[in-house]
Amino acid sequence: MPPVQDQNLSPAQVTQLTKAMLSVALVDDIQPAEAALIGQFYESSRSADMPTTAAVLADPKAHPFDAAALAGSSAEFADTVVLMCLMTAYADGSLSAAEREHIQSIATTLGVDAARFETHLAQVRDELVGALSHLPDAGSVAAVVKELEAD
């Protein structure tokens, strides 16, 4: 998503964002698609002096996330955290109620209000629909859109 690509994240921000994404994935037990997204983000963002992607993903619970540690972050970084957490939740195909609640809690701690959260949620849904829209099976795309709207 553009918010991550447009920012130069510090190693500390990459680490905290990765921990936030892992915390979302662990809500409903980490799924392969979630691990792949997190691994791709971390690998493309980490600096050479940071732990390897394999090491970070080997034991996700060893990297606890504390949203309070990000309190006072810039609005731009807070938005990125929320967007990436939503993308992580949707990576396995759906946003569970527990994942949504967890991400809303993170958003609140970061100062992202409910209206901004809903905007981010709509943005992620739109991105997912856009990614599927090129498929020839319009019926399947419509079914996915309906499922996304139900979340």
Q: How confident is the model at residue 1 (pLDDT cuts 50, 70, 90)?
A: very low
Mean local confidence (pLDDT), 30-41: 93
What's the CA gap between 46 and 14, in Å, rounded? 7
Number of neighbours of residue 12 by Cβ within 10 angstroms: 11
- C-alpha distances in angstroms, 48 versus 32, 42, 43, 44? 25, 12, 10, 11
pLDDT of residue 4: 47
Say how far apart CA 7 and CA 149 lie, in whole Å.
Answer: 29
39 pLDDT exceeds 50? yes
Confidence of residue 68 (pLDDT cuts 50, 70, 90): very high
Whether pLDDT at 145 is above 70? no
Query: What are the C-alpha distances in Å from 34 to residues 16, 40, 66, 109?
Result: 17, 10, 20, 23
Show the CA angle centred on residue 41, arms to residues 108 and 45, nearest 5°.
100
Domain count, the chain: 1
* pLDDT score for 110: 95
Q: How far apart are CA 82 and CA 129, in angstroms?
A: 19
User: For residues 118 and 83, is the Cβ–Cβ distance under 8 A?
Assistant: no
Q: Could you tell me the residue range of the domain that residue 45 belongs to?
A: 2-150
pLDDT tens digits for range 92-135:
888 999 999 999 999 999 999 999 999 999 999 888 755 555 55
> Do the beta carbons of residue 95 and residue 67 sit within 8 Å?
no
pTM equals 0.82
**Under a CB-based contact definition with an 8 Å cutoff, are residues 128 and 87 in contact?**
no
Lowest mean pLDDT among 29-33, 45-49, 87-91, 123-127: 123-127
Please report, in angstroms and rounded to a whole number, the separation of the first and last CA atoms in the chain. 20
What pLDDT score does 143 carry?
A: 56
